[in-house]
């Protein structure tokens, strides 16, 4: 230990050495106490990060982002195809409607012919 400068009381010299030492020790204790909740929080964050990594980690050779991009492209193609099918279905509905009208006309003509034939074959009802 360094001797105190001449004329300095020993207790002042001891205080000059003890106060910074105690202050440093107290600061270390305060930092340790403050780090405790931070460490707990970091452990929780680390656990969450591990769980997220596990859920998104690939078990195959392709990247998850690339897989999602490919799926998005496939979905777009399905939508386009569905649009084509819908348009074709509308056309089929129009055709069926037209055929129904034609069938109704043929039935009406058939009834008319049947009535005339019945009248012709049996003029006295």
- Give just the sign of the alpha carbon dihedral 59, 61, 65, 67: negative
Q: Residue 4, Cβ neighbours under 10 Å: how many?
A: 15
Q: Are 43 and 51 in contact (CB under 8 A)?
A: no
Of the candidates 70, 74, 54, the one whose C-alpha atom is nearest the C-alpha of residue 62 is 70
* Region for residue 62 given its phi and psi (left: phi exceeds 0; alpha: psi -120 to 50; beta: otherwise): beta
Tell me the pTM. Answer: 0.39
Using one digit for the tens of pLDDT, what is the confidence trace for 85-105?
A: 999 999 999 999 999 999 999
Using one digit for the tens of pLDDT, what is the confidence trace for 30-73?
A: 888 888 888 888 889 998 888 888 777 667 787 778 888 999 99
């Amino acid at each position: 230990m360094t001797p105190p400068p001449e004329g300095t009381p020993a207790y002042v010299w001891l205080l000059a050495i003890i106060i910074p030492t105690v202050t440093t020790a107290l600061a270390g204790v305060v930092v340790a106490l403050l780090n405790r909740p931070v460490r707990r929080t970091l452990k929780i964050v680390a656990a969450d990060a591990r769980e997220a990594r596990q859920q998104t980690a690939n078990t195959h050779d392709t990247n998850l982002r690339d897989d999602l991009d490919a799926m998005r492209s496939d979905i777009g193609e399905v939508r386009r195809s569905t649009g084509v099918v819908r348009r074709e279905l509308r056309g089929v509905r129009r055709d069926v409607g037209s055929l129904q009208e034609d069938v109704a006309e043929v039935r009406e003509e058939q009834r008319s012919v049947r009535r005339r034939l019945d009248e012709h074959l049996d003029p006295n009802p």
